[in-house]
């Protein structure tokens, strides 16, 4: 088949010389239909061209990275991309080639790359005051804290700013332990909450855990509707938390931490009814409930501003990062005045937490989400995209599951639907080929076989079509 395709291309070239037609035009027309009859997907038009890039090449950057950066750093793709420009939902490489960003810097870029309102807030604040620490007064941190608190239910209105999601989760777990006087925490298997000492204990995937002391965390059965033994019966999974407390603790715990949708874990939605049942069990054991909204927060799920709201629960502590700053290093812990008071028992300080530039950016993000109705867009475009992916599942047996909400979607690839055998090698091939077509997508899950689709919330239906068409085209050629 490949030989016939090449032969036809050569014949087209010869004909173009005889007729005087441009070979590139003929080839472009030929490329619109491949051997299998599936049209080559076409990227949506976009009215922006980046300025010429004059910096080092991808090879030079990679060489420096290998020599001077930590060997723990890894990269996507057999031939890594050198990204030098970004605009809204698109990224550009050193040659000016445009890519659709369906990963959003790991669910971080919510408003869009280099959104002008966020950029202006950063630049204007930087011109006035770049750093001062919270030892002095500045309106940027206070204004943003007020705006952020207004987005949360109940009495969740005391904010402590951090620099990342890991820091936020570390602090939240410490607060729970201080407030309750207990050490034991409950987390979920397959969870990811960060890579510092405490959060690594709450994380429950061996690939993210080093052999260091990680005490006091009990990992409950994951309420995974696709791979879990109880399917979508959340209350059956919740009983495991009750049993963990009964048999593995003194009967009292510091708290429970979970995402509403597991991000690194492979966009796993918690089974319906699970969180209300677990929150009740934790409360009965004297613990606090922590909602990790690092990836699901800031309108990404579409139906709600926060992921936990989709489960009808109100946590005692909420942690956040990533989308909070659209790419600026920023995180936060929000809790009640009563619980927040525990940090006054000693001196607790964060030099860069609440930096005026970062908090100005965060405030701008909230304004953009409201002004551009990005939550509504995440719901509409995300629902459309999910439906298209479900239809693609009916076409390709390699797709075992499609899940998620809004613009936080997962596509799990398997080589056997009945056995749910992870398609570890196949996903790398599809991912690489989609990159060649101009689509950047993430991956994750315990087996590394789940596509993580977490684009900027300005994603359009045309972008969704291009993404699905690129996936369809690649899978059709396998």
Strand partners, 100: 90, 439
What is the pLDDT, as a whole number, of residue 5?
Answer: 38
User: Virtual CA dihedral for 155, 160, 165, 171, nearest 10 degrees?
Assistant: -90
Indicate the DSSP class of residue 307.
Answer: G
What is the pLDDT, as a whole number, of residue 84?
Answer: 97
Gap between the Cα atoms of 218 and 469, Å rounded: 43
Give pLDDT tens digits for 127-179.
999 999 999 999 999 999 999 999 999 999 999 999 999 999 999 999 999 99
What is the pLDDT, as a whole number, of residue 37?
Answer: 66
Inform me whether the pLDDT recorded for 248 exceeds 70.
Answer: yes
As a whole number, mean pLDDT of residues 85-108 equals: 98
- Write the CA distances from 289 to 138, 186, 224, 253, 376, integer angstroms: 32, 10, 20, 10, 28
The beta strands (E) that lie in 94-223 are given as: 98-101, 158-162, 185-188, 217-220
Inform me whether the pLDDT recorded for 101 exceeds 50.
Answer: yes
What is the pLDDT, as a whole number, of residue 6?
Answer: 38
What is the pLDDT, as a whole number, of residue 14?
Answer: 41
Assign 31 a pLDDT band (cuts: 50, 70, 90): very low
What is the pLDDT, as a whole number, of residue 147?
Answer: 98
Percent of the chain scoring above 70 in pLDDT: 92
| 132 burial level (CB within 10 Å; 0-12, 13-18, 19+) | middle
Give pLDDT tens digits for 437-448.
999 999 999 999
- Write the CA distances from 383 to 55, 81, 154, 197, 412, integer angstroms: 40, 30, 29, 38, 18
Inform me whether the pLDDT recorded for 10 exceeds 90.
Answer: no
Assign 36 a pLDDT band (cuts: 50, 70, 90): low
Assign 34 a pLDDT band (cuts: 50, 70, 90): low
Give pLDDT tens digits for 68-93.
999 999 999 989 999 999 999 999 99
As a whole number, mean pLDDT of residues 347-353 equals: 92
161-179 burial: b if 16+ Cβ within 10 Å, else e:
bbbbbbbbbbbbbbbbbbb
Percent of the chain scoring above 90 in pLDDT: 90
Q: Which of 38-42, 106-110, 347-351, 406-410 has the weakest average pLDDT?
A: 38-42
Is 230 in contact with 273 (CB distance < 8 Å)?
Answer: no
Q: Which residue has the tokens 């001062």?
A: 132
Assign 39 a pLDDT band (cuts: 50, 70, 90): confident
- 331: CB partners within 8 A, 6+ apart: 161, 162, 163, 164, 165, 166, 167, 168, 294, 319, 320, 321, 324, 353
Helix (H) / strand (E) element for 257: namely: strand 255-258
Indicate the DSSP class of residue 358.
Answer: H
Give pLDDT tens digits for 303-338.
999 999 999 999 999 999 999 999 999 999 999 999
Is 99 in contact with 91 (CB distance < 8 Å)?
Answer: yes
As a whole number, mean pLDDT of residues 376-398 equals: 98
Q: How high is the mean pLDDT of the chain? A: 93
Gap between the Cα atoms of 464 and 385, Å rounded: 6
What is the pLDDT, as a whole number, of residue 78?
Answer: 87
Task: Look at residue 455 and give its three-state secondary structure.
Answer: coil
Is 305 in contact with 299 (CB distance < 8 Å)?
Answer: yes
């Amino acid at each position: 088949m490949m030989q016939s395709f090449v032969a036809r291309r050569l014949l087209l070239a010869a004909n173009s010389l005889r007729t005087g037609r441009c070979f590139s035009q003929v080839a472009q027309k030929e490329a619109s239909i491949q051997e299998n009859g599936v049209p080559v997907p076409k990227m949506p038009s976009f009215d922006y061209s980046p300025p010429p890039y004059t910096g080092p090449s991808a090879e030079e950057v990679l060489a420096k990275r290998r020599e001077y950066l930590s060997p723990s750093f890894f990269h996507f793709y057999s031939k890594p991309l050198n990204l030098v420009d970004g605009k809204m939902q698109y990224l550009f490489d050193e040659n000016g080639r445009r890519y659709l960003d369906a990963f959003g810097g790991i669910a971080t870029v919510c408003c869009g790359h280099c959104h002008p309102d966020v950029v202006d807030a950063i630049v204007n604040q930087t011109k006035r005051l770049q750093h001062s620490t919270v030892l002095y007064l500045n309106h940027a941190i206070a204004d943003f804290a007020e705006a952020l608190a207004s987005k949360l239910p109940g009495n969740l209105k005391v904010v402590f700013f951090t620099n990342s999601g890991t820091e936020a989760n570390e602090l939240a777990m410490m607060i729970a332990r201080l407030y309750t006087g207990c050490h034991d925490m409950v987390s979920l298997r397959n969870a990811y909450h960060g890579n510092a000492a405490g959060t690594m204990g709450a994380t429950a995937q061996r690939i993210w855990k080093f052999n260091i002391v990680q005490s006091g965390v009990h990992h409950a059965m994951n309420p995974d509707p696709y791979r879990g033994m109880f399917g979508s019966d959340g209350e059956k999974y919740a009983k495991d938390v009750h049993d963990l407390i009964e048999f593995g603790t003194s009967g009292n715990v510091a708290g429970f931490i979970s995402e509403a949708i597991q991000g690194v874990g492979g966009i796993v939605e918690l089974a319906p009814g699970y969180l209300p049942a677990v929150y009740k069990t934790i409360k009965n054991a004297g613990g606090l409930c922590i909602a990790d909204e690092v990836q699901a927060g800031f309108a990404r799920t579409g139906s709600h501003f926060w992921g936990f709201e989709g489960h009808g629960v109100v946590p005692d502590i909420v942690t956040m990062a990533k989308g909070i700053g659209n790419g600026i290093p920023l995180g936060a812990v929000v809790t009640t005045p009563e619980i927040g008071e525990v940090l006054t028992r000693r001196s607790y300080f964060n030099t860069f937490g609440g930096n005026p530039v970062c908090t100005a950016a965060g405030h701008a993000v909230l304004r953009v989400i409201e002004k551009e109705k990005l939550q509504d867009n995440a719901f509409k475009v995300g629902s459309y995209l999910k439906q298209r992916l479900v239809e693609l599942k009916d076409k390709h047996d390699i797709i075992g599951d499609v899940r998620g909400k809004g613009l936080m979607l997962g596509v799990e690839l398997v080589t056997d639907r009945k056995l749910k055998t992870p398609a570890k090698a196949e996903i790398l091939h599809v991912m690489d080929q989609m990159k060649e077509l101009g689509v950047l997508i993430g991956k994750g899950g315990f087996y590394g076989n789940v596509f993580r689709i977490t684009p900027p919330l300005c994603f359009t239906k045309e972008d969704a079509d291009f993404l699905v068409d690129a996936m369809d085209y690649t899978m059709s050629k396998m």
